[in-house]
C-alpha cells in the first residue's frame, strides 16, 4: 500500500537476497523506522516485542525466520539439529496466532528432502516469498468479497454514510497488503462508497489509535478513534451499521480469537442487531481445535503494558505510568468470541456462515485433516 506516495509493505527481502527488513510498528505513527532481521534471535524479538504483529504478518515473518535459520545452518556439522531447534524456537515466540506455526511448517515442508545447503536456502527463500504473495492476494480477495456486504448496506441506506466499527489493527500493517478487516474498507473506498470507520483505540498497546488510524489516514479514509468502551453506546444509538474485525485464530467450528475486547463488541453487536463479520485468510483457521473458548491458548503479556502508556510529548516519544506504583495489573492479550455471535466470515474463497459445516463447504480439502 502507499505511504506518502511510496509503495510499502510491512516486510520485504532486501536486494542482497538475505536480509529481511520490517517496519518497526512500535514506533508508529510517530516515526517510520525500518529494522533488519539477520538472525533468528532478531526474528523472535521482532515477533515477541511486536515490531511485527497481526496474524498474517506473524506467519510471513516466521516463514522468513525459517529462511534465516537455513542460512545460519549453512556449513554447520549439526545443521539438521540446529535448523530444527531454530524452527522450534520461532514457533514458540507467541502462542495465539496460528499463522506462526503454519508459516514455519510450510517452509520446513518445502525444504524437506532438499540435498545441500544452497538448495535448502533457495527453497526456503522461495517458499517464504510465495507465502507473502499468497497472503497479499488472499487479502485482495477478502476485499472483493467483503465489499459486497458494505455495498448492500449502502444501498439500504440510500447511499448515505456506512459506519463500520473495527477493533485493533487488521490492516495492511498486520498482513502484507490491504489487510483483512480493512480490505473491504479499502475496496469500498476505491468504489466511491461513502464510508466512515469507528476505530477502537485498543488498549493496552493502542493498535487501533496508532496503526489503524495511521493507515486509514494515509489512504484518505474518513475515520474517528473511539475508546474501547464506546462501541456499545454507538451501537445502541444507531451509529454503527457493521462491525468487521480480524482474527488471530479461528477454529473450524467458528470460534474467533482476536484482540482482547473483541468479544464485548460482538455481544454489543448481537444485542443491537448489528452485523458482526470476521475477515480472515485460510491460514488463520485452526483445523484441529473445536472449542475456541477452552482450547485456544491466550497470550498473557507483560502487565507493564497496562500500567504504562506510550505517546508523543514535547521531548519526543516516551512512556508514562498511569497506575499507582504498587497496583497489580493483568494483561490478557486476546479473547474468544463464540461462533453464535458471528454473522459470517469473509475469506479469500467467499463469505460463509460461522458454522463448521459452512466453513468446510468453503474449504472441502480440509475435511478430515
Using CB under 6 A as the binding rule, whether residue 246 contacts ligand MRU is answered as: yes
Using CB under 6 A as the binding rule, whether residue 170 contacts ligand MRU is answered as: yes
Comparing CB distances to ligand MRU, the nearer of 54 and 338 is 54
| CB-closest chain residue to ligand MRU | 246
Backbone angles phi, psi at 105, to 5 degrees: -65, -35
Please report, in angstroms and rounded to a whole number, the separation of the first and last CA atoms in the chain: 35
| Cell matching residue 248 | 488471530
Q: In angstroms, what is the minimal distance from the CB of 99 to ligand MRU?
A: 8
Comparing CB distances to ligand MRU, the nearer of 97 and 225 is 97
| Cell matching residue 26 | 512500535
Using CB under 6 A as the binding rule, whether residue 207 contacts ligand MRU is answered as: yes
**315 flagged as catalytic:** no
Contacts with ligand MRU, 250-269, as mask; x by CB under 6 A: --------xx----------
Using CB under 6 A as the binding rule, whether residue 56 contacts ligand MRU is answered as: yes
Distance CA 83, CA 85 (A): 6
Stretch touching ligand MRU by CB under 6 A, among 168-176, 226-234, 307-315, 336-344? 168-176
Q: Which of 200, 228, 241, 248 is catalytic?
A: 248
Paired residues of 311 in beta bridges: 318
* CB contact at 8 A, 154 and 147: no
Tell which one of 154, 163, 212, 247 touches ligand MRU (CB under 6 A): 247
* CB contact at 8 A, 207 and 259: yes
Distance CA 343, CA 364 (A): 21
* CB contact at 8 A, 248 and 170: no
* CB contact at 8 A, 46 and 231: no
Comparing CB distances to ligand MRU, the nearer of 337 and 343 is 337
Residues with catalytic roles: 248
User: Which positions lie near ligand MRU, rule CB under 6 A?
Assistant: 53-56, 97, 168, 170, 174-175, 179-180, 207, 246-248, 258-259, 333
Amino acid at each position: 500500500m502507499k505511504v506518502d506516495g511510496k509503495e510499502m509493505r510491512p516486510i520485504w527481502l532486501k536486494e542482497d537476497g538475505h536480509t529481511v527488513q520490517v517496519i518497526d510498528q512500535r514506533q508508529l505513527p510517530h516515526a517510520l523506522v525500518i529494522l533488519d532481521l539477520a538472525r533468528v534471535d532478531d526474528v523472535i524479538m521482532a515477533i515477541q516485542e511486536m515490531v511485527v504483529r497481526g496474524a498474517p504478518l506473524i506467519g510471513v515473518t516466521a516463514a522468513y525466520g525459517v529462511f534465516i535459520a537455513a542460512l545460519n545452518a549453512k556449513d554447520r556439522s549439526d545443521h539438521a539439529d540446529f535448523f530444527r531447534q531454530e524452527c522450534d524456537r520461532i514457533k514458540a515466540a507467541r502462542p495465539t496466532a496460528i499463522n506462526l506455526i503454519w508459516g514455519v511448517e510450510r517452509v520446513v515442508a518445502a525444504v524437506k528432502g532438499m540435498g545441500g545447503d544452497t538448495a535448502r536456502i533457495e527453497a526456503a527463500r522461495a517458499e517464504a516469498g510465495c507465502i507473502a504473495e499468497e497472503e497479499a492476494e488472499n487479502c485482495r480477495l477478502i476485499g472483493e468479497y467483503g465489499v459486497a456486504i458494505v455495498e448492500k448496506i449502502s444501498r439500504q441506506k440510500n447511499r448515505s454514510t456506512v459506519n463500520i466499527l473495527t477493533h485493533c489493527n487488521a490492516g495492511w500493517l498486520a498482513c502484507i497488503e490491504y489487510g483483512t478487516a480493512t480490505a473491504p474498507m479499502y475496496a469500498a473506498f476505491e468504489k466511491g462508497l461513502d464510508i466512515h470507520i469507528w476505530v477502537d483505540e485498543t488498549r493496552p498497546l493502542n493498535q487501533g489509535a496508532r496503526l489503524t488510524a495511521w493507515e486509514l489516514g494515509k489512504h484518505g479514509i474518513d475515520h474517528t478513534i473511539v475508546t474501547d468502551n464506546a462501541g456499545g453506546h454507538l451501537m445502541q444509538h444507531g451509529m454503527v451499521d457493521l462491525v468487521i474485525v480480524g482474527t488471530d485464530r479461528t477454529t473450524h467450528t467458528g470460534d474467533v480469537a482476536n484482540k482482547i475486547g473483541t468479544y464485548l463488541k460482538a455481544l454489543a453487536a448481537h444485542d443491537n442487531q448489528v452485523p458482526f463479520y470476521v475477515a480472515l485468510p485460510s491460514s488463520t483457521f485452526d483445523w484441529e481445535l473445536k472449542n475456541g473458548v477452552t482450547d485456544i491458548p491466550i497470550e498473557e503479556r507483560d502487565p507493564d503494558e497496562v500500567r504504562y502508556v506510550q505517546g508523543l510529548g514535547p521531548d519526543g516519544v516516551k512512556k508514562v505510568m498511569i497506575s499507582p506504583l504498587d497496583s497489580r495489573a493483568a494483561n490478557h492479550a486476546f479473547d474468544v468470541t463464540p461462533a453464535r455471535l458471528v454473522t459470517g466470515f469473509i475469506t479469500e474463497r467467499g463469505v460463509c456462515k460461522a458454522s463448521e459445516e459452512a466453513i468446510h463447504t468453503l474449504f472441502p480439502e480440509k475435511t478430515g485433516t
